[in-house]
A and B are shown apart, each in its own frame.
Chain A
Amino acid sequence: DAGITQSPRHKVTETGTPVTLRCHQTENHRYMYWYRQDPGHGLRLIHYSYGVKDTDKGEVSDGYSVSRSKTEDFLLTLESATSSQTSVYFCAISDPGTSGMKQYFGPGTRLTVL
């Protein structure tokens, strides 16, 4: 299994509070991604990073920000959580140089916003 951990694994929070999810990898892969998975929508890309301090938006980036200060860590922040952000969040990694285009996924974080 690819060395990807996500924390926390479960979180319940209230509307309007800030939330930060962490993805940590031990594979030294260049690319890191944040997805959300919802019934009826499948996996949708929120943001991704192609290097330290290099990030770009995905298809559902509104309300989310990211940061990557080290190769191994990619943080997803919900500045002011809303109920529509209740979802399961997955981190993924890839590196064209070592593993081709395939992405490896972490175990997920289940976030509930009340």
Chain B
Amino acid sequence: EDQVTQSPEALRLQEGESSSLNCSYTVSGLRGLFWYRQDPGKGPEFLFTLYSAGEEKEKERLKATLTKKESFLHITAPKPEDSATYLCAVQAKGGSEKLVFGKGTKLTVNP
């Protein structure tokens, strides 16, 4: 069974204090790993797709990396507007388009 575990469940940072969120996964052949951002009361918003170990993607203050067992979302010099819940999901090889999501990390950035 495909599984995704995100840690920590919640993270509180001061503005400018860089940190990383972790996504550990077990999947029967990884087709893709996805990061989403979700603001309160809204649907998840797509951030990145990673396909193979060693791959990195960047967007503003966010950088996602991938190994064979986990992915990290690095947040550099965060701002209060980066506060949100960050979700990780995996898609397995085998033809299905289904995603399996982790429970998310709630990030709060204080000014």
Co-complex (A, B):
yes
B43 within 8 Å of A (CB atoms): yes
A71 within 8 Å of B (CB atoms): no
- What is the interface of chain A mostly: helix, strand, loop, or mixed? strand
Complex Cα distance, B92 from A1, in Å, reads: 26
Q: In the complex, what residue of chain B is closest to A48 when comparing beta carbons?
A: B98
Complex Cα distance, B9 from A42, in Å, reads: 11
Complex Cα distance, B44 from A40, in Å, reads: 16
How close is B47's CB to chain A, nearest CB, in angstroms?
Answer: 10
Tell whether, in the assembled complex, residue A101 and residue B49 are in contact, meaning their CB atoms are under 8 Å apart: yes
Which residues of A, 68-114, contact B by the 8 Å Cβ criterion? Answer: 90, 92, 94, 96, 100-108
B99 within 8 Å of A (CB atoms): yes
Which residues of B, 14-69, contact A by the 8 Å Cβ criterion? Answer: 31-32, 34, 36, 41-46, 49
How close is B104's CB to chain A, nearest CB, in angstroms?
Answer: 6
Complex Cα distance, B99 from A112, in Å, reads: 26
Known contacts A44-B101, A101-B32, then 18 further A-B pairs from the complex at CB < 8 Å, ordered by chain A residue = A4-B43, A40-B103, A41-B103, A42-B101, A42-B102, A43-B44, A43-B87, A43-B89, A90-B44, A100-B32, A101-B31, A101-B34, A101-B91, A103-B99, A104-B46, A105-B36, A105-B43, A105-B44
Which residues of A line the B interface, CB within 8 A?
A: 4, 31, 33, 40-45, 48, 50, 58, 90, 92, 94, 96, 100-108
